[in-house]
Amino acid sequence: MYTGLLQRCYASAYDLISRPAERAGLADQRHGLLSGATGVTIEIGAGTGLNLRHYQSDVTRLVLIEPDRHMNRQLSRRAANVWPNARIIRADADQLPFAAASFDTAVVSFMLCCVPDQRRTLAEIARVLVPGGKLLFLEHVRSSDPRVAAKQDKMPFPYPQLGCHPNRDTLSQIQASGLTVQSVRRGEVPRAPEIERPMIIGSAVRSPADRPAC
């Protein structure tokens, strides 16, 4: 019960909590990354829709996946104003309800720190991408500073309750997924708690020679 209440409150307050970082440069980071989205695009873990205003006209169709019903309400309201033709679906990241090779671009932002199994999620993303399709990512990661990494490992409240694991070596998981990392840059989320600051931003591509899994 308390976890559900916390998740509901978190979804309601998410935009307010994120505002200092967005204004301090994170919105610009999103914009630069998402200018690379083209064609039929899927965003997995769309949250409250903070990415929506950064998609460009090169995106021909947009599908938004958000499993949390509280976040989904926020997302639906924002999409109605910003991207009304977007299709919103409640689904888990490791069980996407689409055929193989359905999307030209996949997007994840601050999502791979929350999924139960990164390996399965990334395999599912690779499955739904067309050969040559790309993954755009902006993610919390484990700090290279042992002092900060130790703090991340302690997982203070409310991170476990929200299912957030900012101490994951997400880049290694992307590299091991069969996707080829094209570009990656390490940085920090501005004006965020210390254990949330380390981040990576970049792109990976599914090999044109790959055959979609059935």
- Output the CA torsion sign for 112, 114, 115, 118: positive
For 95-137, write each residue's pLDDT tens digit.
Answer: 999 999 999 999 999 999 999 999 999 999 999 999 999 999 9
Give the contacts of 136 (CB within 8 A, at least 6 positions apart).
33, 34, 36, 37, 105, 106, 107, 108, 202, 203
Give the contacts of 16 (CB within 8 A, at least 6 positions apart).
none
- Output the CA torsion sign for 164, 42, 64, 197: positive
Average pLDDT, the chain: 94
Please write down the HEC assignment for all residues of 71-93. HHHHHHHHHHHHCCCCEEECCCC
Which architecture, in CATH terms, is 2-206?
3-Layer(aba) Sandwich (3.40)
pLDDT attached to residue 211: 52
pLDDT attached to residue 213: 47
**pTM check: above 0.85:** yes
- C-alpha span between 15 and 159 (Å, rounded): 17
Give the chain's residues under pLDDT 50. Answer: 1-2, 212-214
pLDDT attached to residue 210: 57
**Contact (Cβ atoms closer than 8 angstroms) between residue 106 and residue 128:** yes
- Among candidate residues 26, 81, 20, 25, the one with its CA nearest the CA of residue 49: 81
Every domain of the chain and the residues it spans: 2-206
**Contact (Cβ atoms closer than 8 angstroms) between residue 37 and residue 136:** yes
Tokens of 207: 């090999």
The one-letter code for the residue type at 184 is V
**Contact (Cβ atoms closer than 8 angstroms) between residue 168 and residue 112:** yes
